[in-house]
Amino acid sequence: SGLVGSAVQRKLSSSTLFKSKIITSNRSSLDLRREVDVSNFFSSARPDTVIVCAATVGGISANINYPTEFLLDNLQIQNSIFLSSLKFNVKNICFLGSSCMYPSGISRPIKEDDLLSGPFETTNEGYALANTAGLRLCQMIRRQYGINAYTLIPNNSYGPGDNYDPKFSHVIPSLISKLRIAISNHDD
């Protein structure tokens, strides 16, 4: 589990309202880009609810330098999970999108209606496009199959388990990392 997945897992595990068994995987044990592996996992686990927290993620630098990988990896992850969800009769799908799905230059506060009302920010277009495809796929699955499939869009995420690599981190962990280095070097 990554940053968001581990946070969701901690929250569900500590909830007194949540009584179901939580089944998770991580990158080292399951490559979600491989449809056959995901199908085998679903065949064994038989989930009734799927929360899609998995994604290939990174900061602005990574998104600028690897847009193709961000688009392809995330489409493969989503497609594998959604196909297995349909194949194994999952009842509920919660897909976590990203605030980068909103167009650049929109006025604040943002509204749901702002989605697809303008071009994506060019610095993360691959990731934004994949997330938007996931959002639309949830809408189509809900309409066509009657499955409770929906998308949540967190506006930002950071915390325990975050990536502090200066080339791949998001803004907040990057600032924390830079501050830590400056303090240890006694920089102004």
Q: Active-site positions? A: 127
Question: CA 9 to CA 29: how far, in whole Å?
Answer: 17
Residue 133, classified by CB atoms within 10 Å of its CB into exposed (0-12), middle (13-18) or buried (19+), is middle
Q: Which residues pair with 39 in a beta bridge?
A: none
Question: CA 17 to CA 48: how far, in whole Å?
Answer: 17
Q: Which residues pair with 152 in a beta bridge?
A: 96
For the chain, first and last CA: distance in Å?
37
Question: CA 81 to CA 73: how far, in whole Å?
Answer: 12
CB 77 within 8 A of CB 33: yes
